[in-house]
Structure 1
Amino acid sequence: MTGTVTRLEPGSADWVRRHGLSAIDTCRLAQLHAADADDRVTSIEGDLGDCGGEPFAERYPERYHDFGIAEANLVGAAAGMATRGKIPFINTFGGFALTRACEQVRLDLAYHQANVKIAGTFTGIVAGFSGPTHHCGEDLAIARVMPNMVVLAPADAVAAYRLTRVAARHQGPVYLRLGIDPTDQVYDDSFSFRVGGSNVLREGEDVTIVAAGLTSVATAVAAAGCLAARGVGARVVDLYSIKPVDRDVLVESAERTGLIVTVEEHSAIGGVGSTVAEVVAAEAPVPVRMLGMPDEYAHEIGSYEAQLRRCGLDVDSVVAAVDEEVRRWRK
C-alpha cells in the first residue's frame, strides 16, 4: 500500500504547525533563505548562535560573525558592513540592542539610514524567571522614536518568517521584535505583510482590539471569541507594522466601533497604545484603553504565564478589561 506524501513549503503555515516552530526559528530560516537569494545578507551574532544560528554558520561561514556579548561592537560592525554594501542581520536580545547599544543604534544605524536589520529576541516578559534584568518593556518606545527606523512586531512564527523576508528587502534599518519559545499560531497563508501594513483578523461592531506581537495578538483573538459569547462584537487588528503605522485601519476602526482597547507585551507607555492614541487623537477621537506592562519593575519572579497574569495580559484579564470598557461607554 502506498500513500501520497505532501511536501510542505518551508515557512508556510502548515510547515510551521507541523514542526512546532517559534518565531525565532522562522526568523532564522528566513534569514537563511534571504542569504540564499542575495549574497549580501550576513548574520551578526550577539552570542546567540545556539538559538538557530548554526544552519547559517554551516552554509555561509564567511558571512557569519559572532561578536559575543558585546552589543555596541556588533552594531558598529554591522553599520560598517552596510556601508560596504552588505545587509547584516543582528541577532541579539532586543533589550540589550536597544538599551546597552542604544547610542550605536541611534547614530550608526538610524542616523545613517544603514541597511541593517535587528532581530531582537527575548522581548516583553518572556524571560519570566530571569527577572527585570532580562525583561524588555522599553524596546518599541525606543525604536519607534528614532527617525528612519522601521519597527515590526510579528504575531506568530508564520508572520515572523514573512516579515523577516520583508525586512531583508527593505532599504534601511529595521527592528524586528521576537520572543524565544513557540507561541499560538494566528496566521494561515492567505494573509500578506508589508512595511506600513496591518491585518484585520476578526470583525466586530462594539469595540476594536488592536494588538501587536507574539502572544498579544493571539490573546486578543481568543479574548474576542470569549467576548462574542457575552454578546460583545470585537474587531481585532494585528498592527504588526508599528512604524510606519497603518493610519487608515486605525481611523476606520475608530469610526466603526467608537472604542479601542490596545494589548501589548510592552510598557503601556510609548508602545502600541501610544501609537494608536497618537493617530486616533488627531484623526478620529474615541476612547482608548491601553493594556500593557505596568510602569514598574517586576517585584516577583515567576513563569512567563505568571508574569502575564501579573500584568493583566492573560486572556481572562483582557476579556474583563474590554468588557468593562464596552459597558462603560455604552451607558
Structure 2
Amino acid sequence: MSDVKKYATREGYGAGLVALAKKHDNIVVLDADLAAATKTGMFKKEYPEKHIDCGIAECDMMGIAAGIATTGVVPYASSFAMFAAGRAFEQVRNSIGYPHLNVKIGATHAGISVGEDGATHQCNEDIALMRTIPGMTIINPCDYNEAIKAVEAAYEIDGPVYMRFGRLAMPNITSEDEKFEVGKGKVLREGSDVTIVATGLLVHFALEAAEKLAADGINAKVVNIHTIKPLDEELIKACAKETGKIVTVEEHSVIGGLGSAVCDCLAESNPVPVKKIGIYDVFGESGPALELIKKYGLDGEGIYTKVKEFVK
C-alpha cells in the first residue's frame, strides 16, 4: 500500500474548482483565511480576481455568499467543516437554505481524521446539521476523483449544496472516467450475507473489511454512498431485500448521519436489522489520524470485527 499514490479529498476540491472555472466564468470562491488548508489556494493562484478571502469570519462569509448568489454568480464558500456547518449554521440555514440560494459549501477537515487538531476541530456532527436544512444537498466523496466530480456536480444543482472533504490522504477507489451521479450510490462489491453501506474515506476501510470477511466465509456487499441527501433509497431497499442485514459505516456521529438516513429509509418500508458504525456519542481527541481511526474502530479491522459479530 505504501507505493500507492494517496490524495486527500480536499485536494480534489481545489483541483475541481480550477477545472470548473475553465468551463464556467460565473463562479467565485470564498475562503475564511484557510486557502492553504482547504486547497482553494490552487484556485486563487489561477484566478486571483475570483477568489475572496473573508478573513476568520465564517458567518460573514456565508452572508456574503448568499448576497453574491442573488446576482447569478455561483459562490463556493470554503472552510473547515466545524466552522462551515457548526459556527455558521444559523447563516447557512437562514441566509442560504431558507431562500434556497445557489450557494455551494466546501467543508474540509471533516471527521475524526483531522487528527492532531483535536476534538474542537473534528466535526462529527455536520452531516446531521445539514440534513435538517430543507432543500440542502449533501455530498461526501470517497476519494480524490469523486471530489473533483462533486465540485462540478454541485454546480449543476439549482440550490444549496454541502460538500464534505477530508484532510487525510487516501488511495483512489474510483477511476477518473467513472460516472458520478448525485443521489445515486454504487455497488463496489457484490455479496449475499450482509450489505456494508459506507461513505467518505471509510469506503476504503469497508472494502478492506469485506476482504477479511470473505476469508471467514461471509460475503459482504459493499456500497459507496457519496450522496447522503438525497439518499439512494431505491438501492438501499434493494440491498436490504437481497442480504437481509445492513451495516452503515461513516466518519461521523452515528446520530443523524448516514446511518440515521438509512434507518429512516428502511423503517418506512423494508425494516431489517441495521448496525451503525461511526462515532458513538463521544468527542474526538488529539492524535495521528490513522491511529484515531483505529482507536475508534473505523479501520478495516474494526469494521470487520463489528460486522462479523453482527452477522453471526
Report Cα offsets for 1:171-200 as digits up to 9, x if no partner.
111001101231122112453212211111
Equivalent residue letter for 2:217:
G
In structure 2, the partner of 1:319 is 304
Distance 2:46 2:208 in 1: 40
Q: What is the 5 A alignment of 1:64-79?
A: 64-79=51-66
DSSP 3-state at the match of 2:173: coil
In structure 2, the partner of 1:284 is 270
Distance 1:230 1:219 in 2: 17
Equivalent residue letter for 2:107:
G
In structure 2, the partner of 1:162 is 149
Q: Tell me which of 113, 138, 150 is aligned to 1:126.
A: 113
- 2:242 corresponds to 1:265: no
**1:159 Cα deviation from its structure 2 partner:** 0.7
Equivalent residue letter for 2:265:
V
**1:22 Cα deviation from its structure 2 partner:** 2.2
- 2:242 corresponds to 1:245: no
Q: What is the 5 A alignment of 1:154-303?
A: 154-189=141-176, 191-214=178-201, 216-298=202-284, 300-303=285-288
Distance 1:80 1:315 in 2: 44
Distance 1:306 1:294 in 2: 17
Distance 1:31 1:264 in 2: 25
Distance 1:324 1:286 in 2: 16
User: Quick check: 1:191–1:199 contact (8 Å CA) kept in 2?
Assistant: no
| Alignment: residue pair count | 309
Query: Structure 1-normalised TM-score?
Result: 0.90
- 2:97 corresponds to 1:137: no
Q: Which runs of 5+ in 1 are unaligned?
A: 1-16
Moved over 6 A (4+): none
Report Cα offsets for 1:73-132 as digits up to 9, x if no partner.
100000000001110111100111111100000011111111111110110012222211
User: Which range is displaced more, 305-314 or 53-62?
Assistant: 53-62
> Percentage identity across aligned positions?
39
**1:271 Cα deviation from its structure 2 partner:** 0.2
**1:21 Cα deviation from its structure 2 partner:** 3.1
Distance 2:93 2:199 in 1: 23
- 2:18 corresponds to 1:29: no
Q: CA RMSD in A?
A: 1.4
Q: Larger relative CO (CA 8 A, sep 6+): 1 or 2?
A: 2
- 2:95 corresponds to 1:114: no
In structure 1, the partner of 2:48 is 61
User: Quick check: 2:112–2:123 contact (8 Å CA) kept in 1?
Assistant: yes
**1:59 Cα deviation from its structure 2 partner:** 2.6
**1:313 Cα deviation from its structure 2 partner:** 0.7
Distance 2:168 2:283 in 1: 22
DSSP 3-state at the match of 2:159: coil
Distance 1:93 1:58 in 2: 20
DSSP 3-state at the match of 1:307: helix
Distance 2:22 2:4 in 1: 24
Distance 2:70 2:200 in 1: 31
Q: What is the 5 A alignment of 1:144-155?
A: 144-155=131-142
User: Quick check: 2:69–2:101 contact (8 Å CA) kept in 1?
Assistant: yes
Distance 2:269 2:90 in 1: 33
**1:19 Cα deviation from its structure 2 partner:** 6.5
User: Which range is displaced more, 302-311 or 18-27?
Assistant: 18-27
Distance 1:292 1:322 in 2: 13
User: Quick check: 2:4–2:171 contact (8 Å CA) kept in 1?
Assistant: no
DSSP 3-state at the match of 1:126: helix
Distance 2:10 2:118 in 1: 21
**1:20 Cα deviation from its structure 2 partner:** 4.1
- Structure with bigger gyration radius: 1
**1:306 Cα deviation from its structure 2 partner:** 2.2
Q: Tell me which of 280, 293, 299 is aligned to 1:308.
A: 293
